[in-house]
Structure 1
Amino acid sequence: MKRNEFVYRLARFIVLIIAKTVFRLKVTGKENIPSDGSLLVCANHSSNWDPVFLVSAIPTSRSVRYMAKEELFNIPVLKQIMISAGTYPVGRGQGDRQALKRTIELLNSDETVGIFPEGTRSAPGEFTSAQPGVGFFALRSPAQILPIAIIGDYRPFRRMRVAIGKPVDISDLRDQRGAAKAISERILEEVKTVYFNHA
C-alpha cells in the first residue's frame, strides 16, 4: 500500500499541535534543509517522541519516512495509519533485508528517510556508539545527510528544541576500507556537535 499524502499531512498537523502546545517545540536551522534530492535525516534518540519532533520540524514538502518495529503492524488500525503515512516495518535485531532494500529504494527515489544512527535510545544528552547501518545507506544512495539534534528533557510544558545542522560531507570517506562504519561515526559526531552547540 502506498503512502497517502492526505493521511501524512493530517497526522503531521495533529502531532505538530501536540509538539507546539505540550512540548513548546522550537525549531532552528530550517535553512539547512536541502530543497530537493533524497535526504537522510539523522538524529539522536532518547524517546518515542523523537519521530514526532522530527516530523514536526521537517516541512511537508519533505515528508519523512520511517522504519518501525514490525510488532506495531500487528495492530490493525495502527497498521493502516502507519502504512498510509509511509512507515514500513523492520524486524529488529535480525538484519531485515526487505527493510534495508526498501530504505535504499526510497533514498534512490528522492525521498526523505529518518534514522537514528545509534540504533537505540540513550538518556537525554548522552550518546552511545554509531551503528554501521546509517553509513550503509549513505554509501548506497545519493542522499544528502542532515544531522539533527533533539534537545530537552521531554517533560510536558518544558521547552523541547530541534536544531538542524548543515549537511554532512562524506566524499572523502566513500572509497576507504570500512567506510560504512567511518561514515556512521562522522554522522554521529556531527549530530553531537549540533547538540552541544545548542544545548
Structure 2
Amino acid sequence: MNLYAFGKGLVKTVLSPLYRFEVIGKENFPKDGGILLCSNHINALDPPVVGMTAPRTVHFMAKEELFNAPILGSILPKVNAFPVKRGMSDREALRTALKILKNGDVVGLFPEGTRSTDGVLKKGLSGAGFFALRGNADVMPCAIIGPYKAFRKVQVVYGEPILMAPFRERKASAEEVTEVIMASIQKILDDYSVNK
C-alpha cells in the first residue's frame, strides 16, 4: 500500500466518527484523463476531505510554508502535494501542475487562494483558468458544505465536469474560464444544503 492510500484511509478513520460525511456526485468524476479539481475552501480540513472522497488520486498544490513545517513538510511530498509560492508567479509550481495534468492525472486546488471565513465563495484567482486551458484537462467543480461541527453533516458535492475544448477553440481568457469555474461551484452551493 502506498503512502497516499494509507493517508486516505487514516483520514477517513480519524474524521468519519467526528463528522457525518455525505458524498454526492462521485459518478460525475471522469475515470481517466487530466482533471483540474476545483473546490471552495472553508476549513483547513478541506484538502484531506477532498482527497478522502475523490475517486482518483489528487495532487494538491499547497502553500510553500507548509513544506517548512517539521513533520508536515516531510509528509506532504509523499502524499503527492507540491509547493506553490503565494502572491507571486511560481514558475516551478506552474510547470509541475501542467506536467501532472498533461500526464492524465488530477491536480486539486482552491481557486479562492485562501479560506473563506464566512463561508461565502470569493472571487477565484485566474491561475485556475490558466491551468484548465493550458493543462489539456477538463475541470471538476466541487463544493464542500459545512459547517465542520462535531457530529454534524458535511457534504462534499462533485458537479458535472466542465469541458475545456470549446474554451480552447475560441481562445477564451484565463479570467473568463475562472469565472465559469467559480459559477459552477456557486451553483452547487446554491443547489445543495445540509438542511435539505
TM-score norm. by structure 2 comes to: 0.92
CA distance in 1, matches of 2:63, 2:164: 29
1:98 matched to which residue of 2? 92
Stretch moving more, 73-82 or 103-112: 73-82
CA distance in 1, matches of 2:125, 2:175: 7
Matches within 5 A, 1:16-165: 16-59=12-55, 62-123=56-117, 125-165=119-159
Q: Which amino acid aligns with 1:165?
A: G
Give me the whole-angstrom Cα distance separating, in 2, the residues matched to 1:84 and 1:164: 25
Mapped partners of 2:173, 2:140: distance in 1: 18
Pick aligned residue for 2:178 from 175, 181, 184: 184
SS at match of 2:115: coil
Find the counterpart in structure 2 of residue 167 from structure 1: 161
Identical pairs, percent:
38
Q: Which amino acid aligns with 2:111?
A: P
Measure the CA separation in 1 of the matches of 2:106 and 2:150. 28
Q: Unpaired runs of 5+ in structure 1?
A: none
Q: 2:4 aligns with which of 4, 8, 31?
A: 8
Gaps of 5+ in 2: none
Matched residues in 2 for 1:65 and 1:110: separation?
Answer: 12
Instruction: Report how far residue 78 of structure 1 moved.
Output: 2.1
With over 3 angstroms needed to count, the CA separation of the structure-2 counterparts of 1:17 and 1:124, relative to structure 1, is farther
How far apart, in 2, do the equivalents of 1:128 and 1:144 lie? 22
Write the letter of the residue equivalent to 1:128: K
Q: Which runs of 4+ in 1 moved over 6 A?
A: none
Q: How large is the Cα RMSD of the aligned pairs?
A: 1.6
2:191 counterpart residue number = 197
Going from structure 1 to structure 2, the CA distance change for 1:38 and 1:178 (only over 3 Å counts) comes to closer
**TM-score, normalization: structure 1?**
0.91
Alignment partners' CA distance in 2, 1:31 and 1:124: 30
Greater shift after overlay, 15-24 or 183-192?
Answer: 15-24
Q: CA deviation at 1:71?
A: 1.7
Task: Report how many residues are paired.
Answer: 193
Residue-by-residue CA offset, 1:24-81 (whole Å, 9 max, x unaligned): 111011110101111111111111111121011112xx11111112122223432221
CA deviations 1:63-102 (Å, max 9, x no partner) are: 1111112122223432221111111111111211111111
Distance change >3 Å, CA 9–CA 68, structure 1 → 2: same
Q: Distance in 2 between matches of 1:99 and 1:14?
A: 27
CA contact (8 A) 1:65 1:87 kept: yes
- What one-letter code is carried by the residue in structure 2 that aligns with 1:26? E
- Check whether the contact 1:42–1:148 (CA below 8 A) recurs between aligned residues: yes
